[in-house]
């Protein structure tokens, strides 16, 4: 749709844009990214013919942009720029109606029924109908942006060029506007070429991106190219981590501020308090820990400070105990939004707590086990097992700095160690009288201080993985010795 070949140009004899090549396809949403002053607006001006081309060319639907008349260009493409050249005495409706100019004929340029229909439609779409009689100068920055978009859409262009279209917009209007554009792209084949500053928004909405740096492209292609965070660091000079959006299969970016790059070191053993009563067990850390867990609350990958297990009776039968946990945490002034929460039939006072330094790394394990509910999962149906409440909670705290990969491998090591420990000290399944492989449904927490030794792998063959296994094994021995349940011979 837009073909840019060896394009150079700028404001003076030394060009800002240097020999760029780019093809934007019909019906795609293409985002142009780059830091301030990298030449994005200049490229737009060359593409729209606002700036003279020094060398190379720009073809729109195969026609040289410089050969198109102003009216031909206006029917082909609409531009939403940062520079607003509209009379501030106009009303919102009058400004939007200017978008119909390319379709009006004759000397007196009357508005047709079709023109009014389009204007009503775009006002509705951009949510500015209520502002139609308001003077443009008296509306907010975000409202102005939406009115100018309505004007651009009223042009019914094949291509929409947008220079930071979400500037001034709050989250609601940013997403509303981009959803609207995406809808027009997908339903009506509108081609969108947008300058965007927000990498996360660009990743969610664009089909392809280009990363402009000092007048040249560093990357052109699929949004997944942005996962090359070294390129982003080079362009923006900010530490960027790439993650995946939990619902949309697209990358998302997390920036690390400078102040957070150098955190103050603290002593692990002084950094927490442990409380135990008949009702609950609560470990509170001064600093949040990087945590992976399958807790009833606070599951997944999080930064959390509070770790608690609440005692319930064996006949407790609530299939979704989140609400109860929330109430109990509130009762004891534990902020549930910063907590892993679990329930246990075991008495919190019977919990085994061991702290140990293994391979120069401090670790703490907290294990609660209620053996009455042990089941051999190979002998009983899942539905039966689901009716039994949690009876094993294991929390493993480690004073080290794990990568996300190490967190996962460490979690696996802890699970393997638990299974091994159960094999070494078998429990009896009261129903099948076989060895219990598990106690349903277990909760396991692995939490890291993210300071000190850097660990990229905590699998069962690594020193740290073996250290964790030793600790798990020891904790199981202690807790099982308390219960003394063995397989009947
Ligand atoms: N009218 C102008 N006359 C001369 N130089 C200009 C003019 N407009 C921009 N420039 C220069 O051209 C370079 C690129 O500017 P441009 O506006 O294209 O950057 P940009 O990537 O759009 O930046 P931003 O993200 O801040 O909008 C900058 O060094 C800028 O100072």
Distances (CA, A) of 305 to 284, 292, 417: 6, 12, 25
Residues ≥6 apart with Cβ < 8 Å to 277: 348, 349
Task: Give dist(CA 154, CA 151) in Å, integer.
Answer: 5
The pLDDT value given to residue 318:
82
Pocket test for ligand 1, best of 12, 15, 40 (most atoms within 8 A of CB): 40
Report the separation in Å between the CA atom of 232 and the middle of ligand 1, taken as the mean of its atom positions: 20
pLDDT recorded at residue 1: 85
Query: In the prediction, which pLDDT does 430 show?
Result: 52
Q: How far is the CA of 303 from the centre of ligand 1 (A)?
A: 41
What's the pLDDT at 426?
A: 60
pLDDT digits (tens, 9 = 90+) for 89-102: 889 999 999 888 77
Kindly list the averaged pLDDT for each block of 10 residues, start to end, along the chain of length 489.
Answer: 92 90 96 94 91 91 87 87 71 90 67 87 92 90 89 93 88 91 93 96 96 90 93 91 93 90 87 94 96 94 96 83 93 95 85 91 91 52 40 91 95 91 65 49 91 94 93 88 53
Residue of minimum CA distance from atom 4 in ligand 1? 11
Is the domain defined by 268-483 classed in CATH 3.60.70.12?
Answer: yes
pLDDT at 438: 46
The CATH homologous superfamily to which domain 2-256 belongs is P-loop containing nucleotide triphosphate hydrolases (3.40.50.300)
* Model confidence, pTM: 0.80
Q: List residues near ligand 1 (CB under 6 A).
A: 11, 16, 34, 36-42
Query: Is the fold of 2-256 the same as that of 268-483?
Result: no
Residue 471, CB half-sphere, CA atoms under 13 Å: how many?
32
* Residue where the block lists tokens 């002593």: 267
Cα–ligand 1 centroid distance for 39 (angstroms)? 6
State whether ipTM is beyond 0.85.
Answer: yes
Predicted local confidence at residue 305, as pLDDT? 97
**pLDDT tens digits, residue range 344-381?**
888 887 789 999 998 899 999 999 877 654 455 555 44
Q: 122: closest CA among 46, 34, 181, 42?
A: 181
Residues 6+ apart with CB under 8 A from 113: none
- In angstroms, what CA-CA distances link 215 with 21, 22, 37, 202, 386? 11, 13, 9, 20, 61
pLDDT of residue 215: 81
The closest alpha carbon to 220, from 418, 4, 480, 395, belongs to 4
Which one, of 65, 1, 61, 50, lies nearest residue 29 by Cα? Answer: 1
* Domain ranges, ordered by start, for the chain: 2-256, 268-483
Residues 6+ apart with CB under 8 A from 305: 284, 285, 286, 287, 288, 289, 335, 338, 339
**Token pair listed for 183:** 């809808």
Cβ neighbours of residue 25 closer than 8 Å, sequence gap 6 or more: 1, 191
């Amino acid at each position: 749709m837009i073909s840019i070949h060896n394009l150079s140009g700028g404001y003076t004899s030394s060009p800002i844009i240097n020999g760029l090549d780019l093809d934007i396809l019909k019906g795609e949403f293409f985002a142009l990214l780059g830091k301030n002053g990298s030449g994005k607006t200049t490229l737009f001006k060359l593409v729209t013919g606002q700036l003279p081309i020094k060398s190379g060319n720009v073809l729109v639907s195969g026609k040289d942009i410089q050969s198109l008349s102003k009216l031909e260009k206006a029917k082909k493409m609409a531009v939403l720029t940062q520079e607003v050249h509209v009379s501030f005495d106009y009303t919102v409706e009058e400004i939007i109606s200017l978008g119909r100019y390319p379709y009006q004929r004759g000397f007196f340029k009357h508005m047709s029924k079709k023109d009014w229909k389009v204007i009503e439609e775009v006002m509705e779409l951009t949510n500015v109908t209520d502002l139609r009689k308001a003077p443009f100068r008296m509306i907010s920055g975000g409202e102005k942006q939406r009115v100018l978009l309505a004007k651009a859409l009223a042009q019914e262009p094949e291509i929409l060029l947008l220079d930071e279209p979400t500037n001034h917009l709050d989250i609601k209007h940013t997403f509303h506007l981009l959803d609207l554009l995406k809808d027009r792209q997908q339903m009506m084949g509108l081609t969108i070429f947008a300058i965007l500053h927000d990498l996360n928004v660009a990743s969610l909405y664009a089909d392809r991106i280009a990363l402009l740096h000092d007048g040249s492209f560093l990357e052109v292609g699929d949004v997944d190219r942005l996962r090359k965070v070294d390129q982003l660091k080079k362009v923006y000079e900010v530490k960027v981590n790439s993650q995946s959006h939990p619902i949309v299969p697209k990358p998302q970016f997390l920036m690390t501020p400078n102040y957070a790059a150098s955190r103050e070191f603290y002593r692990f053993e002084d950094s927490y308090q442990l409380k135990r009563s008949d009702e609950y067990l609560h470990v509170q850390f001064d600093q949040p820990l990087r945590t992976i867990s399958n807790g009833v609350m606070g599951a997944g990958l999080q930064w959390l400070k509070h770790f608690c297990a609440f005692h319930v009776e064996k006949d407790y039968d609530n299939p979704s105990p989140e609400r109860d946990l929330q109430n109990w945490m509130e009762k004891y002034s534990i902020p549930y939004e910063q907590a892993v929460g679990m329930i246990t039939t075991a008495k919190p006072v019977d919990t085994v707590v061991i702290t140990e330094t293994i391979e120069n790394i401090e670790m703490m394990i907290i294990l609660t086990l209620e053996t009455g509910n042990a089941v051999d999962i190979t002998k009983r149906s899942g539905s039966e097992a689901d009716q039994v409440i949690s009876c094993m909670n294991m929390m493993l705290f480690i004073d080290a700095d794990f990568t996300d990969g190490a967190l996962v491998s460490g979690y696996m090591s802890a699970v393997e160690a638990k299974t091994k420990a159960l094999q070494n000290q078998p429990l009896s399944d009261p129903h099948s009288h076989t060895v219990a492989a598990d106690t349903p449904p277990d909760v396991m927490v692995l939490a890291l201080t993210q300071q000190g030794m850097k660990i990229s792998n905590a699998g069962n063959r690594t020193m740290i993985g073996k250290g964790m296994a030793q600790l798990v094994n020891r904790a199981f021995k202690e807790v099982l010795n308390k219960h003394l349940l063995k397989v009947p011979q």
